[in-house]
Amino acid sequence: DTEVTQTPKHLVMGMTNKKSLKCEQHMGHRAMYWYKQKAKKPPELMFVYSYEKLSINESVPSRFSPECPNSSLLNLHLHALQPEDSALYLCASSHYTGQSSGGYTFGSGTRLTVV
Partner 1 sequence: GQSLEQPSEVTAVEGAIVQINCTYQTSGFYGLSWYQQHDGGAPTFLSYNALDGLEETGRFSSFLSRSDSYGYLLLQELQMKDSASYFCAVRALGNTPLVFGKGTRLSVIA
User: Applying CB under 8 A, which residues contact partner 1?
Assistant: 31, 33, 40-43, 45, 48, 50, 55-56, 90, 92, 97-100, 102-109
Nearer to partner 1, 10 or 16 (CB): 10
Q: How far is the CB of 23 from partner 1 (least distance, A)?
A: 12
Q: What is the largest CA-CA distance in the chain?
A: 42
Distance CA(89)–CA(16), nearest Å, equals 19
Q: How far is the CB of 2 from partner 1 (least distance, A)?
A: 11
According to DSSP, the β-strands at 44-50 and 18-25 are unpaired
Nearer to partner 1, 51 or 82 (CB): 51
According to DSSP, the β-strands at 10-13 and 110-114 are parallel
Question: Which of 3, 99, 7, 90 shows the shortest CA–CA distance to 50?
Answer: 99
Is residue 35 within 8 Å of residue 45, measured between CB atoms?
A: yes
Q: How far is the CB of 18 from partner 1 (least distance, A)?
A: 25
Nearer to partner 1, 12 or 15 (CB): 12
Q: How far is the CB of 107 from partner 1 (least distance, A)?
A: 6
